[in-house]
C-alpha cells in the first residue's frame, strides 16, 4: 500500500472521528489533524474539502453556514446518524487491520 492510499483510506476515519466530539469547520479540522497527529498527517487544502463534500454527498456529514455577529459566516460540519454508523464500522475494521499488521510485523514468527 502506498502512503497515498493509506492516507486516503484513513482520511475519512480521521475526519469522522474528529467530528464525533462536536461540529467543526474546515480549517479547524485541518489544524486539529496536524496537531493531534504530531505533524505526521497533514491535509492538503484541496483534498480536505473535496473529501468533506464527498462525505456530505454520501450523507455521512452535514454542513451548514453559521453566522455570528460581526464575524464572517463559516461552514460547520457535523456527524449524521448514518455517519456515526460508518465511523463505528471503519473504526472497528481499522483497529482489526492494525492488530493484524502488528501480528504480522511485530513479535516473533518464523
Please identify, using beta-carbon distances, which residue of 65 and 97 lies nearer to other proteins.
65
Only segment of 4-12, 16-24, 69-77, 100-108 that touches other proteins (CB under 8 A): 69-77
| Cell reading at 76 | 460547520
**Can you tell me the distance from the alpha carbon of 110 to that of 32, in angstroms, rounded to the nearest whole number?**
41
Q: Closest Cα partner for 48 from 64, 27, 72?
A: 27
78 contributes a contact to other proteins by CB under 8 A: no
26 binds other proteins (CB under 8 A): yes
Shortest Å, Cβ 68 to other proteins: 13
Amino acid at each position: 500500500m502506498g502512503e497515498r492510499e493509506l492516507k486516503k483510506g484513513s482520511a475519512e476515519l480521521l475526519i469522522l472521528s474528529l467530528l464525533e466530539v462536536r461540529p467543526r469547520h474546515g480549517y479547524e479540522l485541518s489544524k486539529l489533524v496536524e496537531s493531534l497527529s504530531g505533524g505526521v498527517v497533514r491535509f492538503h487544502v484541496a483534498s480536505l474539502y473535496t473529501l468533506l463534500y464527498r462525505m456530505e454527498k454520501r450523507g455521512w456529514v452535514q454542513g451548514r453556514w453559521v453566522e455570528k455577529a460581526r464575524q464572517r459566516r463559516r461552514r460547520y460540519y457535523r456527524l449524521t446518524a448514518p455517519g456515526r454508523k460508518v465511523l463505528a464500522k471503519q473504526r472497528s475494521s481499522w483497529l482489526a487491520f492494525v492488530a493484524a499488521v502488528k501480528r504480522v510485523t511485530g513479535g516473533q514468527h518464523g
